[in-house]
Structure 1
Amino acid sequence: MDPIVEVVALVLGFLGWVMVGVALPNRYWRTSTVDGNVITTSTIYENLWMSCATDSTGVHNCREFPSLLALSGYIQASRALMITSIILGTFGLVAALIGLQCSKAGGEDYVLKGRIAGTAGVLFILQGLCTMVSVSWYAFNITQDFFNPLHLGTRYEIGEGLYIGWCSAILAIAGGACLTCSCKMGTQEPTKYHMPYQSRGTAYSGAALSRSAGASTYGRNAYV
């Protein structure tokens, strides 16, 4: 596998891991604007941890969710998936740094380094899947409530935090796929081709001639 591809995969995985860390505390997972006059227009935005509101004067207030058990099930699941995604990405980065061919951390056993790189790729893919499921599930509930005519609460729209999460998932899955392809699971050595030996002279069978007989024969062939 080309080491350049492995380095690109590491960069993609690292960017995906960083963007997960940016998306998780982002306050704009869902937003809603309450229209009114210049004074009463306000914006409400929430994420997995708190709910905030700001008005046209720039004053904003945030309130953390008081109880974990009182939250909706999808919010609890999204929290768990995002935290799991960060953990998987951390282990994936460590394994990728060891498994790269250009890295000296894992020694000179390139078969073992290939397996470690493949494991890092799997971890990156799992990170991307956890992030994708989390943000997609959260976005599904937003759209479901928004288009539900019987919903009497606040109608939210998709915020920038979800878009960051989707980008993170795509980068992590792409980097993980590249690293997984670089995995050398086998210990197969290059095929050795054995060329048949062909003698340039005539092959004789039988007992070897004695030195004297060989000498006499040589002399007779040479001078007769």
Structure 2
Amino acid sequence: MDPIVEVVALILGFVGWVMVGVALPNRYWKVSTVDGSVITTSTIYENLWMSCATDSTGVHNCREFPSLLALNGYIQASRALMIAAILLGTFGLVGSLVGIKCSKAGGENYILKGRIAGTAGVLFILQGLCTMVSVSWYAFNITQDFFDPFYPGTKYEIGEGLYIGWCSSVLAIAGGVCLACSCKAGTKEKYPLRYHDRGTAYSGAAPSRSAAASTYERNAYV
């Protein structure tokens, strides 16, 4: 395992985990569009939890969604995926802190530490995938309604919360891949050494047998 790669992977995973926590409560997942509007008196913006409006004087008014079951299916799924991403990232951080080679936690059993670090890398990858699916699904519904000429409701554009979520998913996946590949490379490096040791032992034993055979042949002719 390369300690430098592991530390970089840990930093990427941590930053991705923090950005998930920033994106989840962010109010600007979608913002009402001004396309085709001559005068805009208010701006409406929503996230997974509430809908807010601000007027031209800067007064904000927010209202939480009253019922979970009355929400659209993609909003419920996005909530579940984002919460799952935070949980997976939390376990991934704990596992990476224990499993990286430069950490004193977990003792000196580097084989076990490598397995824990590899598991943490998989958890980071799952975190990134959950975040990516959540924000992409939400953005797909925004663009679908925006380009639908027969959609009667308010049309929205993609807000900053989704961009934070996309950046978070990329960082988490990159950190997880680096951590998993680092542990895999460290495991592969051990086997050629063992094979070389066995080959050396065998090559060292071969001259003894040949020397014994030549001695036997000389004794037979005498």
Please indicate the TM-score interval, normalised by the length of the shorter structure: 0.7 to 0.9
* Other structure's SS at 2:61 match: strand
The equivalent residue for 1:119 is 119
The equivalent residue for 2:17 is 17
Query: What amino acid does structure 1 have at the position aligned with 2:174?
Result: A
Aligned partners of 1:33 and 1:41 also within 8 Å: no
The equivalent residue for 1:66 is 66
- TM-score, length-scaled by structure 1: 0.84
Q: How does 1:29-178 map to 2 (within 5 A)?
A: 29-33=29-33, 35=37, 37=39, 41-178=41-178
1:190 is aligned to 2:219? no
Give structure 2 stretches of 5+ with no counterpart: 217-222
**Most deviating of 187-196 and 147-156:** 187-196
- TM-score, length-scaled by structure 2: 0.85
Aligned partners of 1:32 and 1:156 also within 8 Å: yes
Are the structure 2 counterparts of residues 20 and 98 from structure 1 closer, same or farther at C-alpha, using a change threshold of 3 Å? same
* Other structure's SS at 1:190 match: helix
Aligned partners of 1:29 and 1:47 also within 8 Å: yes
* Superposition deviation, residue 56 in structure 1: 1.5
Write the distance in 2 (CA, Å) between the matches of 1:181 and 1:57.
53
Aligned partners of 1:117 and 1:182 also within 8 Å: no
Which of structures 1 and 2 has the bigger CA Rg?
A: 1
CA RMSD of aligned residues (A): 2.1
* Superposition deviation, residue 205 in structure 1: 4.4
| Structure possessing the higher relative contact order (Cα contacts under 8 Å, 6 or more residues apart) | 2
The equivalent residue for 1:221 is none
Write the distance in 2 (CA, Å) between the matches of 1:116 and 1:190.
23
Aligned partners of 2:33 and 2:157 also within 8 Å: no
Query: What amino acid does structure 2 have at the position aligned with 1:11?
Result: I
* Superposition deviation, residue 42 in structure 1: 1.2
Write the distance in 2 (CA, Å) between the matches of 1:141 and 1:174.
27
Write the distance in 2 (CA, Å) between the matches of 1:102 and 1:177.
19
Give structure 1 stretches of 5+ with no counterpart: 207-224
Write the distance in 2 (CA, Å) between the matches of 1:190 and 1:119.
25
* Superposition deviation, residue 24 in structure 1: 0.1
Write the distance in 2 (CA, Å) between the matches of 1:205 and 1:93.
65
* Cα shift readout 1:113-164 (whole Å, capped 9, x = no counterpart): 1100000000000000000000000000000000011100000000000000
* Cα shift readout 1:74-132 (whole Å, capped 9, x = no counterpart): 00000000000000000000000000000110111111111000000000000000000
- Provide runs of 4+ in structure 1 moved above 4 Å: 33-37, 184-189, 202-206
Structure with greater proportional helix content: 2
Number of aligned residue pairs: give it: 202
Write the distance in 2 (CA, Å) between the matches of 1:47 and 1:173.
24
Query: What amino acid does structure 2 have at the position aligned with 1:57?
Result: T
Aligned partners of 2:121 and 2:178 also within 8 Å: yes
